[in-house]
Structure 1
């Protein structure tokens, strides 16, 4: 049996792709408002999953415009900008060819209802790092409340369950003095759903436990409609303590196991004209996006030195102070945090983040010969994307999509576990 699914805040489709890989779900519709992500998801649904009307099912639309989202819209203005605006509104939108304006009601009614809603609002307002960088601790950020629109969709279509994915920082996030997690719990309870009684204790998972070559902690919050069983907490505890753990890997996958077979990409530094901005070799590769961005000669030398320090076993630059001192010495500026990190070949990676779109100083390739940060394809592999998963957009878009995505392999494990819950409801 396949369960009918809607994906909200879909991004490029990491969460949805994993659920589809499980073989237990059917795509009904998805909502995302950034165009590179929408194009990427449409391409994946068409080429991998054979969904011919993906251009209609994937809606490039602002979830905050609820009435139009549900009932349909007709404006034919331009696509939203890549970045969200400070007031939480996009100035322009696009209908066709990305969503035909019919609205979610059309797709849900055509499907005869849905069984599950998946997704998670953008995490910047909940992440600890985001709160540190923002002068108001993200308290004024409208993204604190995007979960309310997720809740509205759940309330309208009353699926049996929902899966709400986000960062652990959600547990400590506050907006007006009330913990966000309390608002989420009470909000879903008010529309007839229950989540586990101790989210911190049960709902935190590490993707590296599920075969993803990356230490990446996330909250996987499963909600169940209260009228479907007598004691929801019994099922929720069983999900977190028995069902989901069955899908853990026997051993953790390392960075080298994930990317070690990709062709080497080495700097080209023989030509004097290139020394200000070093280019890299472009070997033939069986997959897309395995290409390095240019670096300054200074950065190439730093990357090689740091990678060689680890490989040789000297380990002179493995603590925060030595790395901060190195940054000050080489760059001529102080930094409150260390800026460099070499990925360890024999361990899972650190968490892949969207900041890769700006620089990869904290994602330096472990091979000293290559003297570079990781390519988009290497980042995608560390995120557990299949090599046939292509990304539609420029390099900046691609790094952002990969860094913000749910690892598909983790999503597949969650999808399989949730299907067992659906089977018993």
Structure 2
């Protein structure tokens, strides 16, 4: 068998399951075929298998190959745009309905970890760190907004309070989300895959989908086989090419970079992150970091538009890390990698149906770990006839980027530059 490799990340090196599943080489049938084995696909497949369906997953590379196995590993509640933005743009009803789902993704993850005994270094607590007083005021407003939608697991942190959680003087305060947290994302994906397989599900790796033939039953064609199914869930996100041409015009792959240090002495770990929470700052182009289960600092940030890979990841991220933790100047970097997430113009996920039996969800715009798990449950419910929540997401307008694919990269990069200047100036 040809072995399709993961990226050279810390997560891949410390994966609990390195066994590659078989390639699809025949024509088979299933109730439901899921395209993609990231979190959206795995959550959909697992929730559907729990309902008793015969589900097959086809993956073009490896389980968790894309953003699901490469991200910062942070359980961040809500969406990339919060409920105040949703209410202003889409009305109170949509905001209320999406607000009822905004904190469900992390609960789904914790339920799956508990029910299937998934070993993925789950740790509680996440901090939104404010770099200036304007951002701290925004965190106070976020706390009120989330409470308005029934969520009361937050604590506003002063400049002295935040140092109980983050060993730096960079931040003027922040917001602690006690029900947030962090995980080893690839091991979470692999654990969900194993749970799905225990329920009778089948996953084919190295099986690139080249076409979906629509009809009363859909035929999902790979490069060496096919699946005929009553329903299809397309969950390729930033690594999906050609299968959803219309939706592809309404989204753009963006890259983020991550480095991982050598294992740090225990005293240093306690100095950096005394309560072992994960942290993301409140800038538009944000930094995010946490400790791994074996005591390394995982630090990410930076964004490249149009899925370009930077030539030297360390040169982008190390200065950011040292600005936060100058005491790490002599620490060795063991891993550095990049990966793509999918950005939408409104920075809200895109859900939809094609011909009533092909479902898709994509474009979580940097808030994917929790939102993908919510998406999987909502899709599974919709396929079994409870479509109200799916339709809330599907009803959001999906806009193409101005100028189409040719111009969306420079336009988005210009927008990022504008927000970067706002971050620097604190306005």
Give TM-score scaled by structure 1 length.
0.27
Q: Which has the higher contact order (CA 8 A, sep 6+)?
A: 2
- Highest CA radius of gyration, 1 or 2? 1
Q: Which has more helix, going by share of residues? A: 1
Q: Which has more strand, going by share of residues? A: 2
Give TM-score scaled by structure 2 length.
0.27
